Chains A and B, each alone.
Chain A
Amino acid sequence: MQEKVKDGPSSEFQVVGTRPVRPDGADKVTGRAKFGADFSLPGQLVGKVLRSPHPHARIKSIDASAALKLPGVKAVVCRDDFLEQSSEFIPAGEMMINYRDVVRNVMAREKALYEGHAVAAVAATSAVIAKEALNLIKVDYEVLPHVIDVVEAMRPGAPLLHEDMFTAGVEPAPKAPSNVAKRLEIGHGDMAAGFKQADVVVERAFTTKPVHQGYIEPHACIASVSEDGQADVWVSTQGHWVVRAHCARLLGWDIGKVRVTAAEIGGGFGGKTVVYLEPIALALSKKARRPVKMVMTREEVFKASGPTSGAHVRVKIGARQDGRIVAAEAELKYQAGAFAGSPVQPGAMCAYAPYDIENVKVVGYDVVTNRPKVAAYRAPGGPISEFAVESVIDEIAGRIGMDPIELRLKNAAKQGTKAAYGPKFGPIGMVETLEAAKAHAHWRTPLGKHQGRGVASGFWFNIGGETSVSLSLNEDGTLSLTAGTPDIGGLRASLCMMAAEELGVPLDKIRVQIGDTGQLGYNFLTGGSRSTFSSGMATVEAARDVMKEACKRASKLWELPEDAVEYSNGGVRPAGPNAGKHAPMTLKEIAGIAGKTGGPIVGYARINAAGAAPSLATHIADVEVDPETGKVSVIRYTAIQDAGRAIHPSYVEGQYQGGVAQGIGWALNEEYIYGDDGKLQNPGFLDYRVPVASDLPMIDTVIVEVPNPRHPYGVRGVGETPIVPPMAAIANAVADATGVRFTDLPMSPPRVLKALDEARAKGTAKL
């Protein structure tokens, strides 16, 4: 297959593929841009949350009378202020959530299920008074035994979080409740027959710890409810229509009464696709009749907003000596936190997705524990399962003496491959990224002392979803584009570029904004790597709508049939046999005649974007290991990924680099550290160790383009795949450097040194 490595703008486009400065850029480099905590309203109150100090406790009573008497306290809310919800699963990004659990996570009802679980909240005239008021709320807890480890939680007799949790997906249904919310199984073929054909079988067990999305901006919102029940919320969120829906549901209000404006968002990575403070702020504001502003502290972010799962994963792969994988199995036990809904399903779907395997079976368990409820984190579930699979594939390559890229090429999924989770792939770039890795100078550069190199691939499917866009042609020929998927990292630039490409107008004639929920039809959230794909698709449709309308108006003026006018070069002209009969009109001139030819010209798109296509990646990592301290340094990194079509290459590269940095942190140093008391010991950036600038090298990127035929520009979502390969790439590199295979993350220095010393004692260490 011809390699399609992007090394410059494509000749077929004017704007797409170039690197203009983003339209929201000036505000962001001058401090003018308003994030969630930057809004203030006259008369606003400060809202604060009272949180459970216990990891597991029944809440027998809540007495806020003393708090209400404190001067300056204007409202207190607790479980009674939110509606009971029946069980109903709905999509949220790429996860499923249940409202019965959502209302309980926002405000504890029968039980506090993790340290940090919200139990009550106050609104007061100052932060000092609000804090004092929290101390006056008396909560009667009956402390219960807790369980925070996923294997412990699965044991019979483990402390039970939900008395009505009977494992779904098991036949016959269990008679006794447990902490296992569900069991799932996917795959095809005959496992026993498959493994019989193998010359080499490798089976390994892996563990990963919960890690947090780590956005630098804590959750923040301001809510204002007026006497007639109209409610406004300004919040930094990945999905303001979702916020609207959740708040309306939890409070029992009409959706149309609630208007949500998306502030600029300081990072989300999936963690801001759910609600925490918003329903509370609204409930407080309604009671207090004043706006209520709520901002989480960093400690609250760690203790009470979703990390992703920690997990136990077992992988077994069989291959023939010629490199063909004949059978592959995995068992995933993912921790969901206090309520069901770990990303074990997507984790299972992704595990073997980069490969064409005849016999494959993945079993997954969703297990609850007394920890904060997990939320989506960039390719939810994928990095965990693919870390395990890519590590075992590396080991198999070693055992049969084959280059690890060659082994992957021999088994790569292609167009027409049936994935373990069911569908047949359209065109995908797995082979292309592997070939690009093989050809890259990084793969050939000699290594130094104590250094090792690892390669790993990764897959994420990406989603489409409901999207609405509005594109107005202004009276002077400029355009106003309103989209509804919050811009978390450069979307407005890409939308502007796609509109400019379609319409043939200069970029600076288009002003793009993210509209509030009152200004557009429904928009599903920014997640699943969907915003450039879906809002882009909608933008193109809206632009074509404008172009069509422009032709129609000119046809009226020129008294020609509608289809006798064509759009070209930023304007309209007569087509076919009528060509040349009238001078072309620019879009600006069309705008001038809009009123008298029928009214304002506005393009709309309201779609459920379909045709999202997977993005495949292959990464190469070099590490250096200090043999005396076990410290692992990443000294070189190359991320190669298929973008379909890179609208704005700088922002595509940025996604690759950002995902890599998070993956490196996950591999080396990030973890939630709990004591036996079930309390989090590192709820801050001092001891929750994300990579800092001096920890990382430059992160080289290669954009491969295997266009997605179902998008007008060939776009594939790219945001999530980059976080998938790094953990295995690093683990494989460390194995190369040390001779020791690490199956437990993070590979922090004490663990590495301990394993090195054990290997040295056995004579298997390379350094």
Chain B
Amino acid sequence: MRYEAPSSLEQAVGLLAAATGDARVLAGGTDLLVQMRTDILNPELVVDIKHIPELREVKEEAGGFRIGAAVTGAELKEHPRLKSVWPGIVEAANLIGSTQIQGRATMGGNLCNGSPAADSVPALIAAGAKASVVGSHGRREIAVEDVMLAPRKLALAKGEIIASFLLPAKVKGSADAYLRFIPRTEMDIAVVGCGIALTVDANGAVSRARVALGAVAARPLLVEEAARALLGSKLEDAALNKLDAAAGAACKPIDDKRGTKEYRIKVAGVLARRAAAIAYERARKA
């Protein structure tokens, strides 16, 4: 195995594009090293992207935030402004694993690991985040919900790296929330994850909504039907019931060692209601 630590995106892209065997990006390493240790992966080349400044910064841009793909969850939490503007995203990133994991794990890695249960992804999707992808052919923007196609399968070409995520400018009266269900209180992979971002108008009615679900299909889902259920509502029971049903209907879950199909469908609806309530409360104060 070869280890390289380039200091520019160009170098990193070049290394990955030129690789003949299996080449992997190393950000936090909290998934990659586990897979190497358990013989799921045996890369010939590992490209450490943590020495590339753009990937390690959080900048305010166009009224929003540009978050480097290799910024850790712990660093996101310590950023002076990010948590108050996007609490759902920061909380989601800090639910991954443990304190030790959050000290290393990045949202770029969380997305590119290609697990439908990744915690930060539904929150990014709900926020309308865009991934900035850099490859040998240049740079392109792609909505986060379009990055993952199936477990371990990404819409990225060989040599392409996610450099950063752009969070849009926050409109007044907007807020986000992320909840997940796990059997213990910490340390588990999400059985269901739900990210919701709402904009609430001066009358307290929802004017914009995005609802995303994780761990209930082959990839994290943007559930438009669920968002529509909330539009124009003040989260009355009827709206919440529709939200619950839409969330459940969007699920195409599996039975596995973490949950059954029927359980995931039920809990998706429960979490959607609860996350919506939190986002709504936050939005009314924002």
Contact = CB atoms under 8 A, between A and B. Distances in A.
A and B touch in the complex (CB under 8 A): yes
Interface residues of A, number: 22
Interface in A741-766: 748-750, 753-754
Interface string A540-568: 00000000000000000000000000000
B238 interface: no
Interface stretch (A109-117, A504-512, A643-651, A686-694): A686-694
A98 interface: no
B186 A692 contact: yes
Contact of A299 (B38, B183, B187, B263): B38
Of the candidates B38, B186, B263, the one having the most CB atoms from chain A within 10 angstroms of its own CB is B263
A628 B38 CA distance: 36
A586 interface: no
A750 B184 contact: no
Contacts of A753: 263, 266
Contacts of B257: 673, 681-682, 687
Contacts of B103: none
Contacts of A694: 184-186
Contacts of B38: 299
Nearest to B261: A750
B185 A692 contact: yes
Contact of B263 (A669, A691, A750): A750
B270 A628 contact: yes
Contacts of A38: none
A449 B12 CA distance: 56
Contact of B258 (A629, A687, A754): A687
A695 B257 CA distance: 20
B226 to A, nearest CB: 17
B228 to A, nearest CB: 23
A22 interface: no
Nearest to B189: A686
A669 B184 contact: yes
A303 to B, nearest CB: 12
A247 to B, nearest CB: 30
B276 interface: no
B139 to A, nearest CB: 36
Interface string B258-277: 11101100110010000000
A695 B185 contact: yes
B223 to A, nearest CB: 19
A721 to B, nearest CB: 26
Contact of A669 (B183, B186, B259, B267): B183
B117 to A, nearest CB: 12
A398 B285 CA distance: 49
Interface in B217-270: 257-260, 262-263, 266-267, 270
A249 interface: no
Nearest to A673: B257
Contacts of A689: 183-184, 187-188
B165 interface: no
Contacts of A628: 266-267, 270
B275 to A, nearest CB: 13
B274 to A, nearest CB: 9
B280 interface: no
23 contacts: A628-B266, A633-B185, A669-B183, A682-B257, A686-B187, A686-B188, A686-B189, A687-B257, A689-B183, A689-B184, A689-B187, A692-B185, A692-B186, A692-B187, A694-B184, A694-B186, A695-B186, A749-B181, A749-B183, A749-B263, A750-B259, A750-B263, A754-B263
List 7 tightest A-B contacts by C-beta distance, closest first.
Answer: A750-B263, A694-B185, A628-B270, A673-B257, A681-B257, A695-B185, A694-B186
Interface of B: 38, 181, 183-189, 191, 257-260, 262-263, 266-267, 270
